[in-house]
Amino acid sequence: MLRQIRRATFRALKTLGVSRLVAGSRWRQQRLLILCYHGVSQEDEHFWRPNLYVEPDFLRQRLEILQRGQYNVLPLGKALQQLRARELPPRSVAITFDDGMSDFYSRAYPLLRSFGFPVTVYQTTYYSHFQRPVFNLICSYMLWKRRDRVLDNGAELGLKGAVDLGTESSREQAVLQLMQVAEAGQLDGAGKDELVARLAAALQIDYQEIVRKRLLHVMSQLEIAELAAAGVDFQLHTHRHRAPINEALFREEIQENRRRLHSMTGSDAVHFCYPSGDCQPEFLPWLEAENVVSATTCIPGLARARTLPLLLPRFVDTSARSAIEFEGWLSGVGAVVAANRLVN
């Protein structure tokens, strides 16, 4: 109901010409919209995780809206410099992708290149060197693929008996148990992958076919190097996609992430994205100590010159977002509507 009301509001503002006026206003020119995406489906991932994955056609339509609306899509670093200097061009937007999955290489980047839009990828690096599917994601995906079944032999994998895969909550619980099995056994990447292969066998899924298609893989070292040479901006997202509440461990994640990115891109990464949007107050001085100049959150909003550089808002675009809502956020009225909703 709230979503319908929100969409009706955006539609009315567009019909009345308010969105167009706001988009071209001095108020909007003083603000930067940072867009956030995660994955672009190679197959059916958008049905599995619609909050993370969009279809290629969905992304293409979004890029067409940016082009048609004459938005200035800027490289993130340049956009932030111009924001601080209060020298942004009208309708400024920056595009970011989190995690750096292999589908960015095969699906997203070709689209972005065809439109000539710059992009920043917040890249995790552990799985760039260990080219297998991401453990927790592939477990979740395979369990979802068999959502019409009951896993009778789950105990062989360390699960607590039979698992009804028909509900999201039961599948999530099974993933948590598998993660606990891996932690208790102190499994490394290879050990986790062997557990995944056993899960696939129990579910009667061809795991080698998943690996061959590179579903739920992170981009490889060669792919990252190739795209960096082509102009893609790679920035920090931690080495293992985690943010420990421990200064030494947290900074170690940043240092290793930066070191590996430099080995692949030749550049020193100075911009950061909080993994899973997990932003704690303790992180800010730790990031400053690592000479990180900006950090993006998953909190919706438009960035202003006075916005704290380590708490930058972004608009997370997902399959659930309508085109009219997307246009509303591009114009700036989305931020106004959201602010009024929070106040009320």
Q: Is the pLDDT of residue 154 over 90?
A: no
Determine the pLDDT at residue 19.
87
DSSP three-state, residue 92: strand
Q: Are 297 and 312 in contact (CB under 8 A)?
A: yes
Confidence of residue 344 (pLDDT cuts 50, 70, 90): very low
What average pLDDT does this structure show over 325-340? 87
Name residue 271's beta-bridge partners. Answer: 294
Q: Are 32 and 93 in contact (CB under 8 A)?
A: yes
Q: Is the pLDDT of residue 158 over 70?
A: yes
Percentage, residues of the chain above pLDDT 90: 88
Look-up: residue for tokens 């909080």?
274
Nearest to 31 by CA among 89, 103, 70: 89
- Does the pTM surpass 0.85? The reply is yes
Tokens of 123: 């890249």
Domain boundaries, the chain: 2-129+217-343, 135-213
Total length of the chain: 344
Q: How far apart are CA 9 and CA 138, in angstroms?
A: 39
Query: What digits encode the pLDDT tens for the residues 288-314?
Result: 999 999 999 999 999 999 999 999 999
**Rounded (5°) CA angle 103-109-115:** 145
Confidence of residue 342 (pLDDT cuts 50, 70, 90): very low
Q: Is the pLDDT of residue 343 over 90?
A: no
Confidence of residue 153 (pLDDT cuts 50, 70, 90): confident
Q: Can you spell out the DSSP letters for 283-321?
A: HHHHHHHTT--EEE-S--S-B-TTS-TTSB--EE--TTS
Q: How far apart are CA 53 and CA 41, in angstroms?
A: 6
Determine the pLDDT at residue 295.
98
From residue 223, give the alpha-carbon distance in Å to each of 47, 83, 167.
Answer: 26, 31, 36
Determine the pLDDT at residue 255.
98
From residue 316, give the alpha-carbon distance in Å to each of 15, 147, 165, 227, 304.
Answer: 24, 27, 29, 23, 18
Q: Are 59 and 109 in contact (CB under 8 A)?
A: no
Tokens of 7: 């969409």
Q: Is the pLDDT of residue 123 over 60?
A: yes
Query: What digits encode the pLDDT tens for the residues 19-49?
Result: 899 899 999 999 999 999 999 999 999 999 9
What average pLDDT does this structure show over 228-249? 97
Q: Can you spell out the DSSP letters for 121-175?
A: EEE--HHHHS-S--HHHHHHHHHHHTTTSEETTGGGGT-SS-EETTSHHHHHHHH
Task: Count helices and strands (H / E) in the chain.
Answer: 18, 12
* DSSP one-letter code for 32: B
**Rounded (5°) CA angle 340-341-343:** 65
Percentage, residues of the chain above pLDDT 70: 98
Class of domain 2-129+217-343: alpha beta
> Cα–chain-centroid distance for residue 164?
29
